[in-house]
Amino acid sequence: MGTFRISASARNAAADAVRVLPDAGTGGKLRIYAGTQPAGPDSGIGGATLLAEIALAKPAFGAAAAGVVTLAGTPLSATASGTGTAAWFRIVDSSGTAVMDGAVGLSGSGAELILSATSLSAGITVTISSGTVTMPASN
């Protein structure tokens, strides 16, 4: 049995289709949480604690290259509204519909969203250094 693969142009098209979803309506928001990341964006947040929310640029991501889209406007900053260890993020559109979520980490961690610090306290500045979403080329 062979391995499923897609072309570079199909990979970019898929990434571009996902990257525009947060731009619906007035634009998306990025929410940073402490706690366990749910099974996916279609699942509720469970007992996770919201630590910060950041309004995204419109468009939220740049065009795909090699199947990767990069968060626009970084670095981004906001004031933390909660206290805890940042573990995951969720991006929602203007109606609050979840579009994607992923891991939060420090530089070099391999997480999709890179923060200047993951230990957050209410009232401090949270800085997002970078964020990427990668569309896989094969299974």
pLDDT in tens, 34-68: 999 999 999 999 999 999 999 999 999 999 999 99
pLDDT the model gives residue 1: 74
Degrees to nearest 5, angle at CA 89 with 109 and 20: 105
Question: What Cα–Cα distance (Å) separates residue 79 from each residue in 28, 54, 93, 112, 121?
Answer: 17, 9, 20, 21, 9
pLDDT in tens, 4-41: 999 999 999 999 999 999 999 999 999 999 999 999 99
Contact residues for 134 (Cβ-Cβ < 8 A; gap 6+): 15, 67, 68, 112
Give me the mean pLDDT over the 81-108 stretch: 98
Tell me which residue of 88, 109, 91, 113 sits closest to 100, measured CA to CA: 91
Q: Is the pTM of this model over 0.85?
A: yes
Terminal alpha carbon distance of the chain: 13
